[in-house]
Amino acid sequence: MSGPDLPTRSVVVWCADWPAMSFGYPPERAVVVMEANRVIATNPTARRLGVEAGMRRREAQRIAPGAELCDRDLEREARTYEPIVAAFDEITPRVEITRPGSCLFPARGPSRYFGGDGPLAERLTSVVRRQLEVPTAVGVGIADGGFAATLAARASAELDARARRGDGEVSIIVAEGESPIFLAPMPIDTLGHVELVDVLIRLGLNTLGALSALPERDVLARFGIEGSRAHRLASGLDIRPPRLAEPPPDLDVTYEPDPPLERVDQAAFLAKALADDLHARLASRGLAAVAISIEATTTEGRVIERRWRHDGALSSTAVAQRVRWQLDGWLTATQGRRSLGAGALVALRVRPTEVTADVGRQLGFWGGADAASTRARAGLARVQGLLGSE
């Protein structure tokens, strides 16, 4: 596909249950991950015992008394995911991590190199399985647009979990131009915007296809920018048109630690300083980053890079988290077959690879928001559903 506002042909690789799998327990042990006293992830063994996301801790303990109950550890999730992303370097240098356990990249070049989308998907699955210490379902989705590719990858992982074949033949590839058809029957809550979805359902718009069938200008007028973004996703488009130019290089933040950086505790302090500097440079121009590159040079002269992407604008705190996780991953992934050969780090650079206008709203960690903001926008969405955004 070509054109200024057509979606990028994308690949998403999804490792199922990553918050649980990152703890490294053997598959026969039930693992339950808790956050705010509720279950947010489980491994397949825990699910077979009846533990489900959303349960309270006490209920999970009652159902699976022998389960390993673990508090969520985002640093661990990112650190243990680094070797998998590093293994993708042999396929493409353009991998972007959307969250620990999931990444995406443009499909065009790798697909041509490996002989098509099918062979590429098989290669990716094989690469991931070689890196996994604990077997888990792996999904690969290829489609026009990151949203469609993500849903395809999740569905692929579900098929892989049910089949338990581990042969890489359960990837889901959506033919070019058919992402809207693939998305149309999916439930509207797939969008994840709880307050907006609530209004859409009450208006009888229960599927992505029903939303995409409406004129985008009408959706924008009635639901505002959140509605417009939802309409783009439901229509198989990227959440924003592809960028036409790289952000200016003077936004880059660089630092040369002396002595070279070797310890994780040093990385935590440095990550905050780099993030604050980057955020200040962006804010001075009324911009916010939605994707960043983190680059390091080792004492051996090797340059390593990782890219992180977020659906919403990245706050200074969110950038610092990703920089800290990435440095942690590089500094600790040095044992056995997981060695990156990184050594100490003598130079660091953080740069925005995609920016957007800063509209003054910071989404939550994975695209959500704080409770007060959610309640306020929920009320606004209900009013907009009746009166329009004006």
- Provide the residue ranges of all domains of the chain, joining segments of one domain with +: 9-15+78-179, 23-72, 184-242, 249-357
The answer as to CATH 1.10.3470 being correct for domain 184-242 is no
Question: What is the distance between the alpha carbons of residues 387 and 221, in angstroms, rounded to a whole number?
Answer: 10
Which tokens belong to 197? 């979805």
Which tokens belong to 186? 């999916």
- pLDDT tens for 50-96 read 999 999 999 999 999 999 999 999 999 999 999 999 999 999 999 99
- pLDDT tens for 248-278 read 888 999 999 999 998 888 888 899 999 999 9
Q: Identify the helix (H) or strand (E) that includes residue 225.
A: helix 216-234
Question: What is the distance between the alpha carbons of residues 46 and 154, in angstroms, rounded to a whole number?
Answer: 19
The Cα angle at residue 80 between residues 77 and 81, in degrees rounded to 5:
80
Question: What is the distance between the alpha carbons of residues 350 and 294, in angstroms, rounded to a whole number?
Answer: 5
Strand-pair partners of 357: 287
**pLDDT recorded at residue 360:** 58
Nearest to 240 by CA among 356, 134, 326: 356
**Helices (runs of H) and strands (runs of E) counted in the chain:** 14, 12
What is the CATH number that goes with domain 23-72?
3.40.1170.60
Burial of 259 (0-12, 13-18, 19+ CB in 10 A): exposed
* Omega of the bond leading into 259 within 30 degrees of 0 (cis): yes
**pLDDT recorded at residue 164:** 60
Which are the contacts of 175, defined by CB distance < 8 A and separation ≥ 6? none
- Tallying the residues shown for the chain, one arrives at 390
311: left (phi over 0), alpha (psi -120 to 50) or beta: alpha
Asked whether the beta carbons of 350 and 167 are under 8 A apart, the reply is no
Nearest to 318 by CA among 272, 252, 267: 272
What is the CATH number that goes with domain 9-15+78-179?
3.30.70.270
Say which CATH class 249-357 falls into.
alpha beta
Nearest to 50 by CA among 37, 35, 61, 36: 61
**pLDDT recorded at residue 382:** 43
Q: Which amino acid is at 334?
A: T
Q: Which residues of the chain have pLDDT under 70?
A: 1-4, 164-169, 240-245, 333-343, 359-390
**pLDDT recorded at residue 383:** 40
Q: What is the CA radius of gyration of the chain?
A: 21
Which tokens belong to 333? 């992934």
What pTM was computed for the model? 0.84
